[in-house]
């Protein structure tokens, strides 16, 4: 259902911190024109934790309207509160999103039983397809292979964005639920992830280099790992540079350099350091983007 290069969209803000709707429209249009195969608004990279409910839903609405069915929109709907996650899912479905990306509840630190109950409750209450999002470095809770496999049996839980950094899980999950969609959540590990049977990547780097990321995914899909490796070598410094300071600061700096949007961030994220900016500058040059 979901494959290829899928940017976890940054959210453009005006210099005064307000949502920049015009820039968002243009950014979504550019992503589609550059070959992105789906879009994820209101994820971590989109600073969803700093958006009001009204802003959150407006970003989803704009993304759906601009995409206009050309690519799927996977709306970020996660929360540490099951009721709030369900509220987000209901609104995303009403706005026309194609699926929900739902992160493991953070801060609460649920057990595997709690994770199973959380996602099962969401699946029972909504027909919107769910992509699980496992990112233990941010949530502390780590969705196990066994719990993931159990959840995959539910008809609306269709895949996972795995940012655990644990590559063997790709093979383990393929053995337990071969039809489950597996999407990398770590740009710098995606070459190995795809070789092991992954289906795509929900990507930070695709914000900045959507065409190259789409070409990389296309090479993987046709089994041309020599071409994929060459593209990965070209992109690798950018993968690293975009996490050389708190994300999405470096990504927004890179996009500002490319003239795509402004650098405005919302606290507690602050602008990247001079050292980080230098790494981004070098990585953009290495990738042939500047």
Q: What is the CATH number of the domain that holds 75?
A: 3.20.20.70
Burial of residue 134, with CB atoms counted within 10 A of its CB: 0-12 exposed, 13-18 middle, 19 or more buried:
buried
pTM over 0.85: yes
> What pLDDT is stored for residue 48 in this prediction?
97
Contact between 126 and 161 (Cβ < 8 Å): no
Q: Please indicate, yes or no, if residue 270 is contained in any of the structural domains.
A: no
Q: Please indicate, yes or no, if residue 283 is contained in any of the structural domains.
A: no
Q: Please indicate, yes or no, if residue 284 is contained in any of the structural domains.
A: no
Candidates 38, 37, 117; CA nearest to 82 is 117
Please give the sequence-ordered ranges of beta strands (E in DSSP) within the chain, or none if there are none. Answer: 4-7, 74-76, 99-103, 130-134, 157-162, 181-184, 200-203
The predicted-structure confidence for 80-116, as pLDDT tens digits, reads as follows: 999 999 999 999 999 999 999 999 999 999 999 999 9
Q: Please indicate, yes or no, if residue 280 is contained in any of the structural domains.
A: no
Report the mean per-residue pLDDT for the chain: 98
> What pLDDT is stored for residue 1 in this prediction?
79
Q: Active site residue: 14, 91, 161, 253, which one?
A: 161
Q: Per-residue confidence at 183, pLDDT binned at 50, 70, 90? A: very high
Q: Please indicate, yes or no, if residue 162 is contained in any of the structural domains.
A: yes
Distance in angstroms between the alpha carbons of the first and the last residue of the chain? 34
The predicted-structure confidence for 34-71, as pLDDT tens digits, reads as follows: 999 999 999 999 999 999 999 999 999 999 999 999 99
Active-site annotation holds for 193: no
DSSP-based three-state secondary structure for 181: strand
DSSP-based three-state secondary structure for 269: coil
> What pLDDT is stored for residue 224 in this prediction?
98
Q: Active site residue: 133, 193, 252, 253, which one?
A: 133
> What pLDDT is stored for residue 74 in this prediction?
98
Contact between 266 and 225 (Cβ < 8 Å): no
| Average pLDDT of span 254-268 | 97
Domain that holds residue 151: 4-222
Q: How far apart are alpha carbons 60 and 44 in whole angstroms?
A: 14
**Count of the separate structural domains present in the chain:** 1
The predicted-structure confidence for 192-240, as pLDDT tens digits, reads as follows: 999 999 999 999 999 999 999 999 999 999 999 999 999 999 999 999 9
> What pLDDT is stored for residue 136 in this prediction?
97
Q: Please indicate, yes or no, if residue 257 is contained in any of the structural domains.
A: no
Q: Please indicate, yes or no, if residue 288 is contained in any of the structural domains.
A: no
DSSP-based three-state secondary structure for 81: coil
Q: Please indicate, yes or no, if residue 275 is contained in any of the structural domains.
A: no
């Amino acid at each position: 259902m979901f494959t290829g290069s899928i940017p976890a969209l940054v959210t453009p803000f005006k210099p005064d911190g307000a949502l920049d709707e015009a820039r968002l429209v243009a950014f979504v249009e550019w992503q589609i024109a550059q070959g992105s195969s789906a879009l994820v608004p209101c994820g971590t990279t989109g600073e969803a934790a700093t958006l009001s409910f009204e802003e959150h839903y407006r970003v989803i609405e704009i993304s759906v309207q601009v995409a206009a069915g050309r690519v799927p929109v996977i709306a970020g709907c996660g929360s540490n509160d099951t009721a709030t996650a369900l509220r987000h899912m209901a609104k995303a479905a009403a706005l026309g999103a194609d699926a929900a990306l739902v992160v493991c509840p953070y801060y609460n630190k649920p057990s595997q039983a709690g994770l199973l109950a959380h996602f099962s409750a969401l699946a029972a209450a909504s027909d919107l397809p769910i992509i699980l999002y496992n990112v233990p470095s941010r949530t502390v809770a780590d969705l196990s292979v066994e719990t993931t496999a159990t959840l995959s049996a539910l008809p609306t839980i269709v895949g996972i964005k795995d940012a655990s950094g644990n590559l063997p899980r790709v093979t383990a999950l393929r053995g337990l639920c071969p039809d489950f969609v597996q999407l990398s959540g770590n740009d710098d590990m995606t070459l190995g992830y795809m070789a092991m049977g992954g289906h795509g990547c929900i990507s930070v780097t695709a914000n900045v280099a959507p065409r190259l990321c789409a070409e990389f995914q296309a090479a993987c899909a046709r089994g041309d790992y020599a071409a994929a490796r060459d593209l990965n070598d070209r992109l690798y410094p950018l993968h690293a540079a975009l996490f050389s300071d708190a994300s999405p600061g470096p990504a927004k700096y890179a996009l500002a350099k490319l003239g795509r949007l402004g650098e405005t961030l919302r606290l507690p994220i602050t602008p990247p350091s001079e050292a980080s900016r230098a790494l981004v500058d070098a990585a953009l040059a290495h990738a042939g983007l500047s």
